[in-house]
């Protein structure tokens, strides 16, 4: 079910594991590029054609947008207990993201120099909500909450529909609960292109956020620059670092929780305890039998699941930093003593009572996280991602005169005499 690797076999597994990054991206980019160009050129007409081809949905220009009445009805019909859970989750996640709202600031220096920064919320953002194998209202909340906290003026949501043109009713109810009014039943790479370029029905946005499958990720990568994107994410990942104190049943449950997302999802355990490794193997097999998504689980664990038997905690931490997992669980006797050594992880879960599921739905930090090793340079989706920043610079006559020679010298060193002239002309003509 899940293989155990030790010594040299660990490196062989990691080489194969890391190779999927290039393979999965390169295989689809040419196809996605064609779809992007088609949506750019034909707009709604292309969206309708791809909905028919990929989803079996017979859309019309008039049915691309989900009417407000449909969202309101889904909200009214939603299970009241579930709706309360959704409402509380929105509150938790919004409160967390409000804590990191960036500020504008101005420094008035004594010599007539004024320097500062303006933090400006984006005008319009597009949020992608996956469909496919499952519905993800949690991802909608995670994308929307920081945008709302940031004060974004307009939020546009896209999500695929079924052949019956229906959008998942829990997603509809969640959109309504969030106060979002613009929702379109479009999915896949074509939805990303529609947001980036705009169509007759879907407005062009400044930035796109939200997770999706490999085609969505490829579209975001190719369209970066046409608009902003949050990150280029791949399949979901969890890596658990554990010692002999860990509870095998808890570790196995965390591995299985991640593996059920997608056949390409990865679930890794790194431990220096062989007895724990063997116990987790048994637990994975036992728990698997009682779960519903067994076909996905078996494929994911066979291809991208592994138990890596390290030589000690130092090697375990080194492997975690090297792999830069989306989710990192620290099932250790003293996880807080290790936290400062972790350099690359999207979200870190400390202790046996902090399952990754808590982060997915409830705690507050975002579950839209860097994957495929991109935690080396990407961060979780944040409130700051929905801001742009402008620098503010003001020099008085006296201040410019005081620094003019140095500024001009720097410009001339680069061979840019017109730059120097823009300073010296002011000083020479002063008075």
For residue range 178-220, what is the model confidence (pLDDT) as tens digits?
Answer: 999 999 999 999 999 999 999 999 999 999 999 998 899 999 9
Is residue 173, in this structure, part of any structural domain at all?
Answer: yes
Number of domains in the chain: 3
Per the DSSP assignment, residues forming a β-bridge with 16 are none
Active site residues: 326-327
Give the integer Cα–Cα distance in Å for 90 and 74: 18
The answer to whether residues 202 and 58 belong to one domain is yes
The answer to whether residues 49 and 193 belong to one domain is yes
CB 198 within 8 A of CB 227: no
pLDDT band at 320 (very low <50, low <70, confident <90, very high): very high
Give the integer Cα–Cα distance in Å for 314 and 338: 10
The answer to whether residues 64 and 161 belong to one domain is yes
The answer to whether residues 373 and 408 belong to one domain is no
**Sheet harboring 105-108: ordered strands across?**
105-108, 113-121, 387-395
The answer to whether residues 403 and 328 belong to one domain is no
Structural domain including 418 reads 396-428
Give the integer Cα–Cα distance in Å for 18 and 372: 8
pLDDT band at 365 (very low <50, low <70, confident <90, very high): very high
Is residue 31, in this structure, part of any structural domain at all?
Answer: no
22 pLDDT higher than 80: no
Give the integer Cα–Cα distance in Å for 113 and 123: 30
The answer to whether residues 302 and 323 belong to one domain is yes
Domain limit, last residue, from 191, 207, 229 = 229
115 pLDDT higher than 70: yes
The CB density around residue 257, as the number of other CB atoms within 10 Å, is 20
Domain limit, last residue, from 229, 251, 280 = 229
62 pLDDT higher than 60: yes
The answer to whether residues 403 and 338 belong to one domain is no
The answer to whether residues 247 and 360 belong to one domain is yes
Burial of 150 (0-12, 13-18, 19+ CB in 10 A): buried
CB 305 within 8 A of CB 280: no
The answer to whether residues 169 and 110 belong to one domain is yes
Give the domain CATH number at 152: 3.40.50.1980
Cα 7 to Cα 45, 107, 123, 308: the distances in Å are 56, 57, 53, 9
Question: How many CA atoms lie within 13 Å of 374's alpha carbon, on the beta-carbon side?
Answer: 21
The answer to whether residues 344 and 268 belong to one domain is yes
pTM for the full predicted model: 0.91
431 pLDDT higher than 90: no
Is residue 77, in this structure, part of any structural domain at all?
Answer: yes
- The C-alpha angle with vertex 38 and arms to 32 and 39, in degrees rounded to 5, equals 90
The answer to whether residues 139 and 219 belong to one domain is yes
Structure confidence at residue 234 (pLDDT): 79
Give the integer Cα–Cα distance in Å for 252 and 6: 19
For residue range 64-96, what is the model confidence (pLDDT) as tens digits?
Answer: 999 999 999 999 999 999 999 999 999 999 999
H or E stretch at 388: strand 387-395
């Amino acid at each position: 079910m899940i293989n155990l690797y030790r010594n040299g076999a660990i490196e062989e597994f990691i080489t194969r594991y890391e190779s999927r990054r290039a393979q999965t991206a390169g295989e689809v980019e040419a196809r996605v590029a064609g779809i992007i160009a088609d949506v750019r050129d034909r707009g709604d007409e292309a969206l309708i054609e791809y909905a028919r081809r990929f989803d079996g949905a017979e859309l019309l220009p008039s049915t691309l947008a989900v009417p407000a009445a449909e969202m309101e009805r889904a909200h009214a019909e939603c299970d009241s207990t579930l709706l309360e859970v959704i409402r509380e989750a929105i509150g938790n996640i919004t409160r967390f993201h409000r804590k990191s709202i960036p500020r504008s600031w101005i420094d008035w220096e004594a010599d007539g120099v004024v320097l500062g920064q303006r933090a400006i919320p984006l005008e319009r953002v597009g949020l992608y909500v996956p469909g496919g194998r499952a519905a993800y209202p949690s991802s909608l909340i995670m994308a929307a909450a920081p945008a709302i906290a940031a004060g974004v003026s307009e939020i546009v949501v896209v999500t695929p529909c079924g052949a019956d043109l229906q959008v998942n009713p829990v997603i509809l109810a969640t959109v309504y609960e969030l106060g979002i009014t613009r929702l379109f039943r479009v999915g896949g790479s074509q939805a990303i292109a529609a947001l980036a370029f705009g169509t007759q029905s879907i407005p062009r946005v400044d930035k796109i956020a939200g997770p999706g499958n490999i085609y969505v990720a490829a579209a975001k990568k190719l369209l970066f620059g046409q608009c902003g994107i949050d990150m280029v994410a791949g399949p979901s990942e969890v890596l658990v670092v554990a010692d002999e104190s860990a509870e095998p049943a808890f570790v196995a449950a965390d591995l299985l929780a991640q593996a059920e997302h997608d056949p390409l999802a990865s679930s890794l355990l790194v431990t220096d305890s062989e007895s724990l490794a063997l116990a987790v193997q048994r637990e994975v097999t036992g728990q698997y039998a009682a779960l519903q998504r067994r076909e996905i689980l078996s494929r994911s664990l066979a291809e991208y699941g592994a138990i890596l038997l390290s030589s000690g905690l130092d090697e375990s931490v080194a492997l975690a930093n090297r792999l830069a997992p989306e989710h990192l669980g620290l099932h250790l006797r003293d996880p807080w003593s290790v936290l400062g050594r972790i350099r690359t992880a999207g979200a870190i879960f400390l202790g046996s009572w902090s399952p990754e599921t808590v982060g997915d739905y409830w705690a507050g930090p975002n579950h839209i996280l860097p994957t495929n090793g991109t935690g080396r340079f990407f961060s979780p989706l944040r409130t700051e991602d929905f801001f742009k920043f402008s620098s503010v610079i003001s020099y008085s006559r006296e201040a410019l005169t005081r620094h003019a020679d140095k500024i001009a010298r720097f410009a001339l060193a680069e061979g840019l005499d017109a730059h120097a002239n823009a300073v010296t002309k002011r000083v020479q003509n002063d008075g």
